[in-house]
Structures are given as structure tokens and as C-alpha cells.
């Protein structure tokens, strides 16, 4: 009886260890420090959309093909998307703080190179390097949230993550407009240098050294995913330019085949695969990844036709164009933290379904307004609707995806989630360029061969109506993809966090990396 009592006491002590040994560390300062870098990444995506006409006029003024300047965004997104699967694992292996700081240095130096670029080709290369830096940084932000906040309080933290996305949608275009108008397009990149330095210092001070976990790296998986993505995106990007020649379709089909082989190899890899397919056994993780790909596609592709219409058909400056997005950014930033707190107590579908529906509805609203007779102030209305929808979209999706991730695979799961988001963005960027060119040819036959260039200022009156119709039709593409995202989130289920909470508590006893 004494031996049984001793064993029972020892067992009780072992069970109590995780709760008693949880470090009393406030995770919020670390999150705020990381959010600065994440904010900079998002701003650098949105800031370029406003500057595209100015960049085209400065570095590519001799053609009417919009797909050339779109590569300034697509190169960044492609270089961003391809490494994300492995950079998430790097955070697990070497510590998220270390990898984040390395990525931040690369991103900041590449920003300097972007601003100093004298040709479009140089700018595209520098943007690709910038994308690699962003790929190192992004998974670490979500991994730190997953590993430092308990599952039942993670919604509020992801709410801040979502609010950051909302505020960036304002600061990016607005700062871009002000900088382009006052100093030139180069300064949309130079502004990253002081921000990057401040972000480095704060992350160095406040982000903790978390425990590391050994991982093997699937080199074959990295190569296959990279090749497959490149073939698909390049084919979509250049298809209209080459009249959808047979070799273009061959590239796209080859890319799909390579991605199929990649998934097959991941399922058969006996060592550690690049993508742990077991994570997709959690329905919410799989559905959230599909939905965030649709969101990435929509958010990236919607800005290009909207900004070209506002600036070229309606004659607004980049700054004036950005001001039309104020309702979206303000409402998203204000409401996102409240949505995150509400998510901790409710079914994610109660926020995500109306949120995504409002974003899709706002795009249809934009399309109906895109003509020369609409008063400019009316574009503030769909902007406000989109802001409310964003609050119920970014944070809730990220929280739902990461709620039940095992702690030792937090980086891997974050890498997968951000990969699907960025792949959606890459495909959206490529697809909208092709679709816009197609709509321009349909509404303005011979536009690609005409003298002059889109991007050189306000359009002449005789082409404004056709151009406006082309841009309005183009924005229907992201609206349709968003409806697919709505259908996807209907398959989510309310998460049970008991096991995830126990896993999180146990992880707090791990010895942190030094």
C-alpha cells in the first residue's frame, strides 16, 4: 500500500510539473516586436501596387504590355512563396528568433538595392531577393504566437496579426502615394531601411530564444515544389504576351504534373517530408489553408485593376488613390482585435462566412462603380465594407489553422499556411495580368500595338470607356475566387482545444535555445 501511495504521489507531481514550471513571461512585447517586421512585409506588397504606374513610366515606358511591370510584384511573391516550406522548418531547427533576424537583414539590404535600381530587370532581381528575406521572416511570426500563447488566448494575438494586415493596407498605398508624389518611386523602398533597423533592435531585445527541434530537410521536395511553382506562374504570367502558344500551355501542364509528383513524394517519404501531410488530418488546418490561398489570390489581384482605373481612367494621383482605401484600413484595424477575442469563444464560421462574403460583395460593388460617371466619394463605400470583412477574415483564418498544431511542428505548420497564402498571391498576380490584358484586347482591340503607353498619365477620352470596362471586368475574377473561399470555410468545425492546451503547457518546460 505504501509503494502504491508513493507511485501515486510521484505521478501527481509529474502531472503538475508543466503547470508549475510554465515561465511567467508576458508574450505580448515579443509579438509587438515581430509585428513591426511583418507589417513592413505587408506594406512592401501593397505599396508597390500604387507605384506600378510610376515604375512603368520610369523603367518600361515603351510598351503597352502590363505584364512587364507586374513582374515587380510577381518576382517578389514567387521568391517569397517557394522557400516558405523550408524556412518554417529552419525556425523549428535553429530557433524562430535567429531566422527572423537573418531574414530581416536580407529584406532591409534588398530594399536598398530596389531603390537604387536603374532598370526594370535590376528592380525585379532585387525584389526577388527581398522576397527571400520575407520568406525567412513570415513563418516565425506565426510560430512564436503558436508557441507562446495558449490555444484559448491565441485568438486575441492573431487578432493583432490580422489588424496589422488591415493597417498595412492603408499605410502601404497611402505612404506609397505620398512618397511617389513627393520624392519618386525609389522611396517606397528606401523607407524600409530605418524601419528595418528599428525592427531588428526590438526583436533582438524582446523576442525570446525558444527551444529548438531537430529536423531533416527534404531537398528533393524543395526542388520539386520550386520547379513546379515556377512553371505554373511563368506560364500564367507570360501567356497573354505570347498569345497562349502551345509551349505556354505545356509549361503550365508540366508545372501541375511536377506539383503532383511533389505531393506523391511527400506521401511516400520515409524520413521527414517537407510537408508533413499528417497535419492535414486536422480538417480545420486543411480547410484554412485552402481558404487562405483564395484570400491571397483575391487580395493581390484586386489592387492592380482598381489602381489602374482610379489613376488612369479617373486621373487621381497615387496619394488620392490611396485615400480611397482609408475606410477599409481603419475599420479592419479597429475591428480585428475584437474579432480575435470573439473567436476564442465561438465557432470560426460565425466570423469567416460573413467576413469573406463581405469582401467578395465589396469587389462586386467596386465593379459596378468603375465608370467615368461615378462620383469619386462613392468608392469609399465598398472600401468600408471590405474593411469590416477583412476583420473577420485574416485573424480568424490564421487562428483556426494554427489552433491545434503540435508545438514541435509550429514552424512547419506556419510555413505551410504562409506558403498556400503566398502561392495564392503569386497565381493571383499572374492571373490578373493575363486577364487584364485579355479584357483590354476585348474592349480596346489593338491596344497592345497602339502608339503610346498605359501608365503615362490620364488616358485620352476616346479610350477611357473601353479601359474602364476592361478594369471592371477584371475585378470580377478575384470576386469569383473569394466565393470559392466562402464555400471552403463552410466545412470548418468548432475546434476542441483540450489536447492542444496540454501540448502547449508541456512545451513550456522545454529548455530554450541559447
CA distances in angstroms from 271 to 70, 220, 251, listed in the order given: 39, 12, 31
Asked if 440 and 467 count as a contact pair (C-beta separation under 8 A), the reply is: yes
pLDDT of 56: 80
CB 497 within 8 A of CB 146: no
Query: Which residues, 6 or more positions from 207, have their beta carbon under 8 angstroms from its beta carbon?
Result: 30, 33, 34, 96, 97, 100, 144
Q: Is the pLDDT of residue 111 over 90?
A: yes
Beta carbons of 393 and 355 less than 8 angstroms apart = yes
Residues 5-12, mean pLDDT to the nearest whole number: 43
Q: What is the pLDDT of residues 143-172, one digit of tens each?
A: 787 777 776 677 777 777 767 766 776 677
Highest mean pLDDT among 10-19, 148-157, 415-424: 415-424
Please give the Cα distance from 60 to 48 (Å, whole number).
Answer: 15
Q: 439 CB contacts (<8 Å, ≥6 apart)?
A: 469, 470, 471, 473, 474
pLDDT-based confidence at 13, cuts 50/70/90? very low
Whether residue 240 lies inside any domain: the answer is no
If you average pLDDT over every residue of the chain, what do you get? Answer: 80
Is 21 part of any domain? no
Q: Kindly state whether residue 118 falls inside one of the protein's structural domains.
A: yes
Which CATH number does the domain housing residue 376 bear? Answer: 1.20.1250.20
C-alpha cell read off for 291? 481558404
Report the pLDDT averaged over residues 115-124. 89
CA atoms lying within 13 Å on the CB side of residue 123: 23
Domain assignment present for 11: no
Is residue 106 domain-shared with residue 180, that is, in the same domain? yes
Chain segment 456-501, per-residue pLDDT in tens: 456 777 788 888 999 999 999 999 999 999 999 999 877 665 544 5
Residue at 143 is within a domain: yes
Domain housing 357: 272-496
Assess whether pLDDT exceeds 50 at residue 120. Answer: yes
202 and 94 housed in the same domain: yes
Query: Is 328 found in the same domain as 398?
Result: yes
Q: How many domains does the chain have?
A: 2
Say if 63 falls within a structural domain. yes
Find how far residue 380's CA is from the centre of its chain.
24
In a domain? residue 113: yes
Cβ neighbours of 69 (radius 10 Å)? 28
- Cell numbers 527541434: residue: 213
Instruction: Encode pLDDT of 43-61 as tens digits.
Output: 887 778 778 778 887 887 7
Residue 105 in any domain: the answer is: yes
Q: What was the pLDDT predicted at 513?
A: 47
Same domain, 465 and 375: yes
Q: What is the pLDDT of residue 476?
A: 95
d(CA 445, CA 439): 9
pLDDT-based confidence at 1, cuts 50/70/90? Answer: very low
131 vs 405, which has greater pLDDT?
131
Amino acid at each position: 500500500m505504501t509503494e502504491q501511495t508513493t507511485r501515486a504521489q510521484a505521478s501527481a507531481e509529474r502531472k503538475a510539473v508543466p503547470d508549475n514550471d510554465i515561465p511567467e513571461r508576458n508574450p505580448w512585447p515579443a509579438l509587438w516586436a515581430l509585428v513591426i517586421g511583418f507589417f513592413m512585409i505587408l506594406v512592401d506588397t501593397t505599396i508597390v501596387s500604387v507605384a506600378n504606374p510610376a515604375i512603368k513610366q520610369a523603367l518600361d515606358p515603351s510598351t503597352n504590355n502590363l505584364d512587364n511591370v507586374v513582374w515587380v510584384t510577381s518576382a517578389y511573391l514567387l521568391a517569397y512563396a517557394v522557400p516558405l516550406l523550408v524556412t518554417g522548418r529552419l525556425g523549428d531547427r535553429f530557433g524562430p528568433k535567429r531566422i527572423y533576424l537573418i531574414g530581416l537583414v536580407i529584406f532591409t539590404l534588398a530594399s536598398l538595392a530596389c531603390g537604387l535600381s536603374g532598370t526594370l530587370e535590376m528592380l525585379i532581381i532585387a525584389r526577388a531577393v527581398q522576397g527571400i528575406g520575407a520568406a525567412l521572416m513570415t513563418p516565425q511570426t506565426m510560430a512564436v504566437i503558436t508557441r507562446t500563447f495558449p490555444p484559448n488566448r491565441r485568438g486575441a494575438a492573431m487578432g493583432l496579426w490580422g489588424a496589422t494586415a488591415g493597417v498595412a493596407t492603408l499605410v502601404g498605398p497611402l505612404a506609397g502615394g505620398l512618397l511617389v508624389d513627393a520624392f519618386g518611386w525609389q522611396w517606397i523602398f528606401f523607407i524600409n531601411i530605418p524601419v528595418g533597423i528599428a525592427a531588428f533592435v526590438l526583436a533582438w531585445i524582446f523576442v525570446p530564444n525558444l527551444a529548438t527541434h531537430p529536423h531533416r530537410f527534404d531537398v528533393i521536395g524543395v526542388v520539386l515544389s520550386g520547379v513546379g511553382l515556377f512553371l505554373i506562374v511563368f506560364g500564367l504570367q507570360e501567356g497573354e504576351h505570347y498569345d497562349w502558344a502551345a509551349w505556354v500551355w505545356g509549361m503550365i501542364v508540366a508545372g501541375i504534373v511536377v506539383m503532383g509528383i511533389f505531393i506523391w513524394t511527400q506521401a511516400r517519404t520515409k524520413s521527414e517530408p517537407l510537408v508533413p501531410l499528417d497535419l492535414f488530418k486536422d480538417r480545420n488546418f486543411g480547410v484554412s489553408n485552402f481558404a487562405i490561398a483564395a484570400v491571397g489570390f483575391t487580395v493581390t489581384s484586386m489592387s492592380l485593376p482598381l489602381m489602374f482605373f482610379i489613376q488612369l481612367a479617373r486621373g487621381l494621383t497615387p496619394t488620392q488613390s490611396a485615400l480611397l482605401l482609408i475606410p477599409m484600413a481603419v475599420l479592419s484595424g479597429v475591428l480585428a482585435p475584437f474579432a480575435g477575442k470573439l473567436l476564442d469563444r465561438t465557432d470560426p464560421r460565425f466570423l469567416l462566412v460573413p467576413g469573406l462574403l463581405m469582401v467578395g460583395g465589396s469587389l462586386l460593388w467596386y465593379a459596378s462603380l468603375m465608370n467615368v460617371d461615378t462620383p469619386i466619394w462613392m468608392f469609399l463605400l465598398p472600401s468600408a465594407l471590405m474593411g469590416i470583412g477583412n476583420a473577420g477574415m485574416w485573424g480568424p483564418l490564421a487562428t483556426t489553422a494554427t489552433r491545434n498544431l503540435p508545438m514541435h511542428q509550429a514552424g512547419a505548420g506556419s510555413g505551410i499556411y504562409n506558403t498556400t497564402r503566398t502561392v495564392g498571391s503569386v497565381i493571383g498576380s499572374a492571373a490578373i495580368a493575363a486577364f487584364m490584358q485579355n479584357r483590354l484586347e476585348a474592349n480596346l482591340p489593338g491596344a497592345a500595338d497602339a502608339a503610346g503607353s498605359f501608365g503615362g498619365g490620364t488616358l485620352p477620352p476616346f479610350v477611357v470607356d473601353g479601359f474602364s470596362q476592361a478594369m471592371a471586368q477584371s475585378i470580377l475574377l478575384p470576386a469569383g475566387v473569394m466565393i470559392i473561399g466562402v464555400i471552403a470555410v463552410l466545412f470548418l468545425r468548432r475546434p476542441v482545444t483540450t489536447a492542444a492546451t496540454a501540448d502547449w503547457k508541456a512545451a513550456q518546460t522545454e529548455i530554450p535555445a541559447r
